[in-house]
Structure 1
């Protein structure tokens, strides 16, 4: 890979790394698993970056790769995320410490979301990120109408879980 490609990747990853942290928060429940999944998503983003054509926003593409990686690993390992070795020096990424204090307010919601299947978790995550139904449909690879219908069903299911 050339230096220009590497530099642009590092800049974009640093700018949007909170997206990866949020995906990790959704699919992990402890610090070590969070860091392992963050590392694995970063590796998958790096591997896929040369094929990123810019047809969508970088953040939308990043959500898609991150969610697909998390879902794939979650299904394969049933909550034990396996990672590949990663040479952090190679990328020289300035990592931000993940602070979940503001997300403590959403603890009950997250507990309810954990009970959903993988696709519905991703749907709720993107909805909570204020993504439009168009962006949600592009990220998940479903129609916009299907995204709206699924979201209404998930909202009802979450209400049932949160208010038994």
Structure 2
């Protein structure tokens, strides 16, 4: 049974870290309905875990860890349904950069390439793009700092390789 203090803490937690929740949901679900379902799953898990929160850890780290674990499970369970990214080939992407704006075009490509990553790599790059240091990423994902460095290097190489097929 949750106490009144737990309810207050939970409400404050959601309010303070709603940006994290929405960012994780948007990264793992492109469909709005799936995103809402994932957000609900994350909040349910946060509610169930609120009494287990340890003050030794930053709340943002704790929220990220739970959110990403739920998102990865959700993605694996509903993978085919939630990964409705369009399989674009080079012919579809031959949009002149000046029409869309080169920066926007590159950002759209980056988002597409990130969506093609597996769920764990997606979590790593999401945290990296949030300017989290390797120790924070390791703590959130429960892996070693050296593993974060190795995986991040490989992810960057994959993304560079994908970008290399386009001439800017």
Q: TM-score, normalised by structure 2?
A: 0.80
Corresponding residue number in structure 2 for 1:47: 48
Distance 1:140 1:147 in 2: 9
Structure 1 residue 31: Cα displacement: 1.4
Structure 1 residue 27: Cα displacement: 0.4
1:145-164 maps to which residues of 2 (within 5 A)?
145-164=146-165
1:130 counterpart SS class: coil
2:17 counterpart SS class: helix
Corresponding residue number in structure 2 for 1:88: none
Q: TM-score, normalised by structure 1?
A: 0.81
Larger Rg: 2
Distance 1:114 1:104 in 2: 15
Corresponding residue number in structure 2 for 1:98: none
Structure 1 residue 32: Cα displacement: 1.4
C-alpha contact (below 8 Å) 1:28/1:79 kept by paired residues: no
Unmatched tracts of structure 2, length 5 or more: 83-103
Q: CA RMSD in A?
A: 1.7
Structure 1 residue 139: Cα displacement: 0.7
1:105-124 maps to which residues of 2 (within 5 A)?
106-124=107-125
Structure 1 residue 140: Cα displacement: 1.0
1:71 counterpart SS class: helix
Unmatched tracts of structure 1, length 5 or more: 82-102
Distance 2:42 2:69 in 1: 9
User: How many equivalent residue pairs?
Assistant: 143
C-alpha contact (below 8 Å) 1:23/1:70 kept by paired residues: yes
- Deviations along 1:115-153, one digit per CA (max 9) or x if unpaired, are 111111000000001101000000111111111111111
Distance 1:150 1:163 in 2: 20
